[in-house]
Amino acid sequence: MVGKKDEVIPLAKSEFMHAKIKGATLHTISDAAHLSNIDNPDEFNRHMTQFLQQVKLQRSHLLITNS
């Protein structure tokens, strides 16, 4: 996740990293700078919750597959 107004790690750098990391996802938090969890906690928490749910599903799938 990156704040749209982040000046410490600008959006362009986050987009560059996203393009280089296979399977990565990138969410831009509107109305947020470097501390997006503080600047826009509702949007940050929504994306974080979705990410954690996805990880949980992937982990469950791996456990079932490897059983």
Q: pLDDT tens digits, residue range 8-64?
A: 999 999 999 999 999 999 999 999 999 999 999 999 999 999 999 999 888 887 777
Total-model pTM: 0.79
Rounded distance, CA 25 to CA 53, Å? 14
**From the CB of residue 29, how many other CB atoms can be counted at a distance below 10 Å?**
23
What tokens appear for 56 in the block?
């949980």
How much is the pLDDT for 28? 96
Report the DSSP beta bridge partners of residue 28. Answer: 2
Which one-letter DSSP state was computed for residue 2? Answer: E
Phi, psi (rounded to 5 degrees) for 7: -100, -15
Residue 67 has pLDDT above 70, yes or no: no
How much is the pLDDT for 16? 97
How much is the pLDDT for 59? 81
